[in-house]
Amino acid sequence: MGEECTEPDVMASIDEGTSEFVIADIACDDAWLSVRSGDAPVLENWC
């Protein structure tokens, strides 16, 4: 197993090549998820 993450460093981006919305914790290996940008939830609907 890899090292534990103690300080998250999270960012989000649209991958223009695949039209995916990607959220990643760049402080941890393999800590990311993606969804097609058209299927991503709208932030205003969560607030």
Range of the domain at 27: 1-34
Query: What is the domain count for the chain?
Result: 1
Residue 47 falls inside a structural domain: no
User: pTM, whole model, 2 decimals?
Assistant: 0.60
pLDDT tens for the 47 residues of the chain, in order = 456 667 889 998 888 888 888 989 988 888 988 888 888 877 777 66
Q: What is the pLDDT of residue 16?
A: 84
Produce one character per residue of 9-46: b if its CB has 16 or more CB atoms within 10 Å, e if not. Answer: eeeeeeeeeeebbbebbeebeeeeeeeeeeeeeeeeee
Structural domain includes residue 11: yes
pLDDT for 11 equals 92
- The full DSSP string for 1-47 is --PPPSS--EEEEEETTTTEEEEEETTSTT-EEEEEGGGSPPHHHH-
Q: 26 in a domain, yes or no? A: yes
Q: Does a structural domain hold residue 20? A: yes
